[in-house]
Amino acid sequence: ETGVTQSPTHLIKTRGQQVTLRCSSQSGHNTVSWYQQALGQGPQFIFQYYREEENGRGNFPPRFSGLQFPNYSSELNVNALELDDSALYLCASSLGPGMNTEAFFGQGTRLTVV
């Protein structure tokens, strides 16, 4: 186990609703990245948070937003849910945002939008 925990593990939402996913980083890790893994695909980078600020973003619309708290835990918020948002959402924590730091992944949150 990596020490990165995500909640909830599963949830079902209706199209148009909003959802919040949570991630507790490994002890001492100040950087959290979020990834979306659609069925049959590799994970895709959503964004990264470092020192409570967004520190880089992938090709995702603004309705995907996040927060990082002083204890380095993080939230991913998705507004106006669409069917295509159904995926496994992975959180990864690391000791800083640099090139050489290793990312440790949580077990993921499986989101189903109906």
Contact residues toward other proteins (CB under 8 A) are: 2, 4, 6, 31, 33, 35, 40-45, 48, 50, 55-58, 90, 92, 97-100, 102-108, 110
Given the complex with other proteins, which of 16 and 56 has the nearer CB atom?
A: 56
Torsion angles phi and psi, residue 85, rounded to 5: -75, -10
Q: 32: part of which helix (H) or strand (E)?
A: strand 31-37
Q: How far is the CB of 99 from other proteins (least distance, A)?
A: 5
- 85 close to 46: Cβ distance less than 8 angstroms: no
Q: How far is the CB of 67 from other proteins (least distance, A)?
A: 17
Q: How far is the CB of 14 from other proteins (least distance, A)?
A: 23
Cβ contacts of 56 within 8 Å, gap of 6 or more: 47, 48, 97
Q: How far is the CB of 16 from other proteins (least distance, A)?
A: 27
Q: Which two tokens stand for residue 12?
A: 């079902």
Given the complex with other proteins, which of 38 and 80 has the nearer CB atom?
A: 38
- Tokens 């659609």 sit at which residue? 38
